[in-house]
Amino acid sequence: MTGKLQWVESLITKFGGQHILVVGDLMLDRYIYGTVSRISPEAPVPVVRVMDEKNMPGGAANVARNIQALGGCAQLCGVVGQDPLGQELLAVLARDGITTTGVMQLPGMRTTVKTRIIAERQQVVRVDWEDQVKLPVESLRVLCRESAAAVRRSTGVIIADYAKGAIRQELVAAILSAAKRHRIPVALDPNQNTVLKVQGITVATPNRKEAFSLARVPEQTPKDNPLKDEALARVAGILMKQWGPSFLVITLGAQGMLLASRSGGRVHIPTVAREVFDVSGAGDTVIAALLLAVAAGASEKEAAELATCAAGVVVGKIGTAVCAGRELMAFYQVLVKTGMNVVRRS
């Protein structure tokens, strides 16, 4: 057990030497915190008395924030509007030490903002302001060129697609070409509404719903044991053939995640969350921890195990949260003390 903790500590220490490029849809997450003591006389809805407000990076920007929190160095490539909200997002990112030289500000574009109202530790409602990103041809060329150049300065790349329009096939092709030349691992957080050719990626992390949709298989009721879920196994096989990654991680919510490799083997990694308050942004944490671990030299199974634990930390928090390296280490220490084996079946 002491050896296990030493391995985790050594891996987390190596995160400090990783420079991760995150390319994707950038958003501003706004949180309004308050209390509820009565129902509105105008409609059967709670009246929230506002106590605090907070702006945080969202979407691909939250992936970068997780990289930074875990000890890595994050650089962002993407687009925001040339508006006050875009400036606010860039200011929030600068506060977290994230490099934004690869972020373009487009005139006429409205920066995507998701506002969540939280009362009594529960999300009451979410309000979204967003427009589909419409990149002019020249702007797309610049983004492709800047992203490819940034790949060369990185030890890992994450493509975070939230179907807002920033992720285009031309951009993905430029990233994968540069990554192949420089032998840089690439992770993809796909979206079910975007069809991309991504042959050459290292790992993809769709959730169950996305996986079934992208494999064009009707989603079925999950089995109690994911390793005996024939539909899930079929979907994993289709996506492995379709994308050709080194390995695939399908996140399964309360069931944890399924790891599929090129050898055809599958491993179920159960969730290790002690408390679940909010799953917002948990997928961002998974891909950030997973790619950091791979870039630092972890095996597929080790990286997936680490990502599961990082997700276990963030779902115990309210809002779009991150997992710090020290929190991940503390989480592992508790697991070791209780004798829990993260990888339960293989």
For the cut 80, the answer to whether the pLDDT of residue 4 exceeds it is no
Residues 6+ away with beta carbon under 8 Å from 26: 57, 58, 59, 60, 61, 76, 78, 79, 80, 89, 103, 111, 112, 166
Q: Please report which helix (H) or strand (E) contains residue 12, including its range.
A: helix 2-14
Dist. CA 82–CA 136, nearest whole Å: 15
Dist. CA 311–CA 293, nearest whole Å: 14
Q: Which amino acid is at 116?
A: R
Output the six-digit token pair for 48.
């929230």
Average confidence (pLDDT) over 157-171: 96
Output the six-digit token pair for 27.
């958003």
The residue ranking higher by pLDDT, 264 or 252, is: 252
Q: Which domains does the chain have, with CATH numbers?
A: 2-27+59-112+131-338 (3.40.1190.20)
The candidate with the shortest Cα–Cα distance to 221, out of 231, 233, 236, 211, is 231
Instruction: Report the SS3 class of residue 153.
Output: coil
Burial class (CB in 10 A: 0-12, 13-18, 19+), 206: buried
The answer to whether 19 and 153 have CB atoms below 8 angstroms apart is yes
Burial class (CB in 10 A: 0-12, 13-18, 19+), 27: buried
Whether 52 is catalytic is no
Residues present in the chain in total = 346
Q: Pick the catalytic residue: 161, 229, 278, 284?
A: 284
Please give the pLDDT value at position 2: 63
Please give the pLDDT value at position 83: 94
Q: Is the pTM of this model over 0.75?
A: yes
Q: Which amino acid is at 307?
A: A
Average confidence (pLDDT) over 67-71: 95
The answer to whether 113 and 26 have CB atoms below 8 angstroms apart is no
Strands 99-106 and 73-81: parallel
Strand partners, 345: 268
80-113 pLDDT, tens per residue? 999 999 999 999 999 999 999 999 999 989 999 9
231-250 pLDDT, tens per residue? 999 999 999 999 999 999 99
